[in-house]
Amino acid sequence: MNKINLLLILMLAFYNVSVAQQYQISGKITEAGGEIIPFASVYVKNTAKGVSANADGVYKLTLDKGDYTLVYKAIGFKTIEHSVNLTTDLTLNQKLASESYTLKNVVIRPNAEDPAYEIIRQAIKNRKTHLNEVDSYSSNVYIKGLQKLVGAPKKFFGRDIQKTLDLDTNRKGILYLSESQSVFSFKRPNKIHEEMVSSKVSGRNNSFSFNKASDLIINFYENLLLEGSGLSARSFVSPIADNALFYYKYKLLGTTEENGVTINKIEVIPRRTNDPVFRGIVYIADDSWRLMGTNLNLTEAAGINFVDTLNISQQFIKIENVYMPSDIKFQFNGNVLGFKFEGYYVGIYSNYDIHPNFPKNYFTAEILKVTKAVNKKDSLYWMNIRPIPLTDEEKFDYKKKDSIALRKTSKRYLDSVEKEHNEFGIVKMLLTGYDINKRYEKKYIHFDPIIRSVFYNTVEGFGLKYGVTFRKVLEDRKTYTIRPEVRYGFSNHVFTANLSGSYYYDPLKRASIGASFGSDISDLNRYGSMSLLSNSINTLLFERNLSKFYKKEFANINTTRELADGLQASASIDYNKNYTLKNTSNYKLRDLKDEEYTSNNPFTPNSETPLFPTYTAVSISAGLTYTIGQKYITRPDGKFYQESKYPRFQLGYTKGIKGILSSDVDYDLVNLEIYQDRISTGLLGYSSFVVGAGKFLNNTSVFYPDSKHFRGNNSTVFPPNLRKFRFLDFYQYSTSREYVEVHFEHNFAGFMINKIPLLRKLKLEEIVGVNYLTQPGKRNYKEFYFGVERLGFGASYGYAYDGNKKVDQGFRITYGF
């Protein structure tokens, strides 16, 4: 036993000695005049081990005892090497001189082509070689993201901004600060796998960072960049794309020597101000014609959204005979409604392996995995692994917000905060609804706003539809929701009430079960025609009672669950007893000469005749939804699907069962829908489409509410929906037989308007679209439209044809709030 204890003591002693031989080199990197150089790189020569300076130019590098050659590198500055013998902690400040790029060996004659063009041609010629020279790799990636306000109005919608956003007295401060460490793997052409190792979000101790290494990938060897990034509806052209000379002008600013390699500094300049292109500097090596660094900007002129300027800078490190990114930085700023903001996201890459031996089936549909443990790391862990030191501002933000976050988890604090938040207010109740939050118990109650609950239609007269939603959050992000709802019409004196509930029991399988029962007043079109508010406005002000209603008593049980990656299954059982209704009110705010209310039967507008007899319907439904190439992120709070580049297929089947519970229906409906959104067409924007087809295999007994309905439109103003027709009647063309519908829309993303000086500042996006429907009662119905849109709002003009006969035309306005 004594020998064992002695052995343990020796092992611990050896461990302590080895730990003690880790030393830290730290310092500040500045220009010759003393100005800081933010985000400069510091790495050990001939290795991939390195760090980055922070926004204040401060760096920290931890190494074992020994001799090292440190390389200090920053875009636009001369690379400096410094040899050190590390036997203790060392402070090593470093000044970098501006890189001297000279044209001493270059003669540029008047009217001659700038030498930069030949260098760019060579880079374009070798583009594919450099794009594909590394088939796969893995690396560690540290990501840091920061967003902060640098100016804001004193008040916004009556609320004190300093207090609401926890800013300083100048209304400045950090809004978001996050760090993460991941292991990232890549294999051509587009396979990725990332596992987050650690995550930290300032002020949110139990949250997980949304940092993704794949979001930082930007490879200028690609022809088009930033597709689907949200920065713009179209892509941006690389300065060394195959057709780059059509979009760019180039100027050689000079050359320099670095480790025996001649590097050319080239300015890239847009040929046309408003083309989707970059501006700035690229660094290209002679002979190999590879990129050695970038410092490029996107501005408002290039058509970016949400920010005014985005800077993208890259530095590369030599790994064997290829160059891989050592760091990538996205830096941005903007001004929205008086809120001035700026920030950055920076990725630091280390421990590259460009010959990885990935196991079989390593790459799956899961592109990022985040486990429960990633946000449990302590401050010592972050101090040791963080390759970018925190600035004083960031340290203060962590200290302040993390201490507040700890207090916020206490029952006493939450009760005090919620006492103020839960205080009842008439304005709240009228406009936004009233909330009672019990966050310590994870219980939430929401009372609907009165303004959205009051309505008018000719069936019920003035009415009230009101509900309360209760939500409880359980362990492992499971939740259940209960909602009672009542409705009463003051003209027809019909009272309905129902109760619905759902239990989300497996976030990782997107699995839930729900049920509802009671009575309600429903739209004759199962997709709905328009909101209660819109119908009320059309009825009272324009004497157009467009929506038609019926009463139902119902019970429903439904469930949904993921069966495999990208494959979701759903099923439901429904019981309905349906009653026709008729108009009971003809009140109007103004009486228009050429308008009259129509009956509640859309097929007999001038007389109140029952559309169907009172009947009972029992049905079962099942559906499968499959998305080709579906990718997802797994987090402890659920599974998050990413937008796929491939179509989604949805197969459905509904059976109306006669005889059970006195059911009067007897039908079988099968339907298939194929859908894809935002198919990129590069500089020409993107397309979206929906193709749907179905057939009643058996239609022995089908009543109108159980028919196949379509998303029609009789209104000038409506919310956008790709599946929505723009001129088709809400009710006339529902069918109990077969049908085919097609919807297609293309967004040119400003490709044409961007060339018109007076309009380009509006950043409008041109759209064209086609809708098509054929079924036994409406063969070859077509709609064509064109217009513009911006951030969910749009205006278009269209034409509708029944066969070859034009039946309607006019303006349509869409809104997306």
Residue 180 has a CB neighbour count (10 Å cut-off) of 26
The SS3 of residue 284 is: strand
Give the pair of three-digit tokens for residue 574.
């429904």
User: Which phi and psi (to 5°) does residue 374 adopt?
Assistant: -65, -25
Q: Which pTM value belongs to this model?
A: 0.85
What pLDDT score was predicted for residue 420? Answer: 65
Residues 6+ apart with CB under 8 A from 176: 145, 146, 147, 148, 201, 202, 343
Residue 34 has a CB neighbour count (10 Å cut-off) of 8
Give the pair of three-digit tokens for residue 255.
């050359």
CA distance 444 to 451: 21
CA distance 183 to 178: 17
CA distance 378 to 402: 12
262 closest CA partner among 101, 153, 125: 101
What pLDDT score was predicted for residue 34? Answer: 87
Residue 128 has a CB neighbour count (10 Å cut-off) of 12
Contacts 24+ apart (CB under 8 A), 785-793: 785/726, 785/812, 787/812, 788/753, 788/764, 789/747, 789/764, 789/765, 789/814, 790/762, 790/763, 790/764, 790/765, 791/305, 791/816, 792/720, 792/816, 792/817
What pLDDT score was predicted for residue 13? Answer: 40
CA distance 786 to 768: 4
What DSSP assignment string belongs to 685-723?
Answer: -EEEEEEEEEEEEEEEE--GGGSB-------SEE---TT
State in Å, rounded, how far the first CA of the chain is from the last one: 74
Q: pLDDT digit string (tens) for 752-784?
A: 888 787 787 788 899 999 999 999 988 999 999
CA distance 467 to 456: 17
What pLDDT score was predicted for residue 417? Answer: 62
Indicate left, alpha or beta for 509 from its phi (over 0: left) and psi (-120 to 50: alpha).
Answer: alpha
CA distance 555 to 663: 13
What pLDDT score was predicted for residue 805? Answer: 92
Are 114 and 250 in contact, with CB atoms under 8 Å apart?
yes
The full set of domains in the chain, from first to last, is 2-96 (2.60.40.10), 116-243+328-405 (no CATH), 453-667 (no CATH), 710-817 (no CATH)
The SS3 of residue 397 is: helix
The SS3 of residue 537 is: helix
Indicate the Cα dihedral angle 232, 238, 242, 247, nearest 10°: 80
Q: pLDDT digit string (tens) for 518-574?
A: 999 999 999 999 999 999 999 999 999 999 999 999 999 999 999 998 999 999 999
Which segments of the chain have a pLDDT < 50? Answer: 1-20
To which residue do tokens 């100005």 refer? 35
